[in-house]
Amino acid sequence: MCKSTLLTVAILVGLCVFEVGCTSAEKCQATSMPESLDTQRVTQVAVVVRDVEKAAKGWADLFGVEVPKSSLTDPLEKAHTTYRGRPTQGRAKLVFFKLDNLQLELIEPVGGPSTWREFLETNGEGVHHIAFEVKGTDKYVAMLEKKGMPLVQRGEWTVYTGGCYTYFDSVQKLGVALELLENY
Amino acid sequence: MCKSTLLTVAILVGLCVFEVGCTSAEKCQATSMPESLDTQRVTQVAVVVRDVEKAAKGWADLFGVEVPKSSLTDPLEKAHTTYRGRPTQGRAKLVFFKLDNLQLELIEPVGGPSTWREFLETNGEGVHHIAFEVKGTDKYVAMLEKKGMPLVQRGEWTVYTGGCYTYFDSVQKLGVALELLENY
């Protein structure tokens, strides 16, 4: 390792120790966790409904547009869906409307247990979550859990670029569930 | 009335009769009712909460911003609030977050009956409505009622430019309540 590299490492370690007032690697790593969300752009509002085709017709009629085609979330083998910490066969039939400033998502729960099904059974139809797009999901999961908003469900999608989503139990803190979306 | 004005009126009446195939003033007036919403921009997502100050602190902490000040909707005398067709003393304590692409509204119901209080008592905390901005509220009220989404509450505000809001019972059709906002 050359002298300049050693110097850089020494400065970085010094800054880290100075910043958090600690010397343990574990605590220093925690400084990579953001303190807030870093985005204030709502990318998606998602509504859980009993019948996604019926709701899609209602929205299409409201906007005077064609009814978009529905799709199905990937199966467990592809999506690696976990709900409350355990793998689940829970899936959803989805319809998306690309509105001017955000995506409107309609969700009909199908298959096994999921946060979508839980919402429908507990609340009936309504807005399930609002979503923000991030890069580096795990550091935001850590941030939200530290703020008292635990992870409830996560999964992946393989269409387009692929990506992952995470839902949080944030109703007590914010009045609504949050979703973080990350496109790979 | 000058000749050109008479000619313009004659052309407009002719167009109206041609368009709807009728001559009655009542039916012709109906052509001013739009068939769809004319906007696909969600201007507001609104969350009903039990304690607006507590929820505002949660959102401010999430975004890393200061907690905005709360305000109270105008009293009945100024707001002329009607809920399910009758005047109501129902009011709300509000906090607004100006996000990048829309307004996040937090609503704590106070005072008499209102759609906000009804939502909280029926569903608990959650997204009460999503809002679109329009010009000429009444023609959209007619359009939504025709589509099976009756008016539930309306009222006015006097701050800034002043304006009016209308809420619709659209959960059965769309999965969520709609609000139309009009700034005067």
Q: Measuring CA to CA, how many Å separate A172 from each of A107, B91, B175?
A: 22, 23, 22
Nearest residue on chain A to B51, alpha-carbon basis: A175
CA distance A172 to B11: 60
Burial bucket for residue B147 (CB in 10 Å: 0-12, 13-18, 19+): middle
Q: Give residue A118's Cα distance to chain centre.
A: 17
User: How many other CB atoms are there within 10 angstroms of residue A100's CB atom?
Assistant: 10
Nearest to A64 among B35, B64, B101 (CB): B35
CA distance A34 to A29: 11
Convert the pLDDT of each residue in B145-177 to its tens digit: 999 999 999 999 988 789 999 999 999 999 999
Collapsing DSSP states into helix, strand and coil, what is residue B64? coil
CA distance A70 to A96: 8
Indicate whether A175 pLDDT > 70: yes
CA distance B95 to A145: 25
Nearest to A64 among B36, B55, B126 (CB): B36
Note the pLDDT of residue A158.
87
Place of tokens 């505002």: B56
Which residues of chain A are at the B interface, by a Cβ-Cβ cutoff of 8 Å?
A: 35-37, 39-42, 45, 47-49, 55, 58-59, 61-65, 97, 99-102, 104, 106, 123-127, 130, 147, 170-171, 173-176, 178
Convert the pLDDT of each residue in B87-129 to its tens digit: 999 999 999 999 999 999 999 999 999 999 999 999 999 999 9
Alpha helices per DSSP H over chain A: 3-20, 25-29, 52-63, 76-79, 115-123, 137-146, 171-174
Indicate whether A127 pLDDT > 80: yes
Least confident of A23-37, A93-107, B102-116: A23-37
Which H or E run contains A177? strand A177-183
Best to test chain B binding among A45, A127, A129 (most B CBs inside 10 Å): A127
Of the pLDDT bands very low, low, confident and very high (cuts 50, 70, 90), residue B24 is: very low
The gap between the terminal CA atoms of chain A, to the nearest Å, is 33
Contact B99 A40 (CB under 8 A): yes
Residues of B in contact with A168 (CB under 8 A): none
Could you tell me if A114 and A91 are in contact, meaning their C-beta atoms sit under 8 angstroms apart? yes
Query: For A44-140, where are the E strands, in sequence order?
Result: 44-48, 71-72, 82-83, 86-87, 90-98, 103-111, 126-133
Note the pLDDT of residue B19.
39
Alpha helices per DSSP H over A67-155: 76-79, 115-123, 137-146
Collapsing DSSP states into helix, strand and coil, what is residue A179? strand
Which residues of chain B are at the A interface, by a Cβ-Cβ cutoff of 8 Å?
A: 35-37, 39-42, 45, 47-49, 55, 58-59, 61-65, 97, 99-102, 104, 106, 123-127, 130, 147, 170-171, 173-176
Query: For chain B, where are the E strands, in sequence order?
Result: 44-48, 71-72, 82-83, 86-87, 91-98, 103-110, 126-133, 151-157, 163-168, 177-183
**Which of A87, A85, A139, A142 minimizes the C-alpha distance to A111?**
A87
b (16+ CB within 10 A) / e for A147-176: bebebbbbbbbeeeeebbbbbbbbbebbbb
Q: How many CB pairs under 8 A join A and B?
A: 119
Average pLDDT, chain B: 88
Residues of B in contact with A61 (CB under 8 A): 36, 147
Residues of A in contact with B42 (CB under 8 A): 45, 99-102, 104
ipTM over 0.85: no
Nearest to A47 among B58, B62, B175 (CB): B175
**Which of B142, B137, B144 minimizes the C-alpha distance to B183?**
B137
Q: A174: which 2 tokens?
A: 């914010």
**Mean pLDDT score, A7-21:** 43
CA-derived radius of gyration, chain A: 20
- Give the percent of chain A with pLDDT over 90: 80
> CA of B15 to nearest chain A CA: how many angstroms apart?
23
**Which of A76, A108, A110 minimizes the C-alpha distance to A91?**
A110
Note the pLDDT of residue B161.
80
Residues of A in contact with B176 (CB under 8 A): 47, 125-127
